[in-house]
Chains A and B, each alone.
Chain A
């Protein structure tokens, strides 16, 4: 066997592949790591929750199960309630749809104008 000329530090592409296929996958991964570091849930509770989601829908893309697990565990730990989450999904949807393409989507632009307004101020 002949010795390779480059060290792995010099040719990282050989050993690494992109860990995330889309930015949102990276976001949910990092949120989970931070919440665990904050002590919101133990890593073993996390793997149980994720394992249950993977088991329930084996054909679902991996990070979609990860997201579903994160929604469940934050709800179970009373960090984010379901109504709160659903209202916020609506708000982001309205914000996106009222934002011209190419401009940053801001949550303020998703405030309701046709009904009771949702309070976005920090708790």
Chain B
């Protein structure tokens, strides 16, 4: 029997998944569909630049600048783009304003559509089957699991994202923050509060 190199303990091994990814990428690069440097640039951007700090800036501006808040209500894509945050897939942004009578909450029941330009990539739970299934059916129970208990009379509205429509929740501004700067306010806007599974000013 010839020596089987495949079992040689000092050689490398790629997992089945890594093999599939390398196979796909190397073919796409060879055929000119993607440039490895551009792929790395995208990864770098999503790992370091784009994240919920952007959405927090949008929210803080909406809290302090009524004209901006009004613009967000009328044309969220344009208002958000004015801060330099634009989408890659040509999606429309919609800003959902929470009020004392209405709480908005966002889900993507199909897959994991999410407002990348302002929140980055979604957290693990957002992509999970239980959240996707239950957010629509029993939003109050899901909210309670996130530690959010709403008054009886407050309406909960659940928005199902699509490839074309992405939602950003504008949480209510916490009491006692009068006179705070935009920067100070942005620091208390949590990611979950902009998905609607949290409230601003509360720890996540």
Contacts and interface: CB of A to CB of B under 8 A. Distances in A.
Contacts of A20: 43, 47, 121
B46 A19 contact: yes
B187 A19 contact: no
Interface stretch (B16-24, B73-81, B150-158): B16-24
Contacts of B140: none
A27 B21 contact: yes
Contacts of A50: 111-112
A34 to B, nearest CB: 5
B22 to A, nearest CB: 5
B14 interface: yes
B51 A16 contact: yes
Contacts of B51: 12, 15-16
A36 B22 CA distance: 19
A122 B175 contact: no
Interface in A85-121: 85-86, 88-89, 91-93, 96-101, 103, 105, 107, 120
Given A35-B33, A58-B129, A85 B186 contact: no
A54 to B, nearest CB: 6
Interface residues of A, number: 69
A8 B187 contact: yes
A51 B22 contact: no
A7 B57 CA distance: 10
Contacts of B177: 1, 3
13 contacts: A3-B181, A15-B53, A30-B40, A31-B25, A35-B34, A43-B163, A47-B163, A54-B111, A86-B23, A98-B5, A100-B11, A107-B26, A123-B31
By Cβ-Cβ distance, the 8 closest A-B pairs, closest first, are A43-B89, A88-B23, A19-B121, A51-B110, A30-B42, A44-B163, A1-B176, A8-B53
Interface of B: 5-6, 8, 10-14, 17-28, 30-35, 38-40, 42-43, 46-47, 51-53, 56-57, 88-91, 110-113, 120-121, 123-124, 127-129, 162-164, 174-177, 180-181, 183-184, 186-191, 201
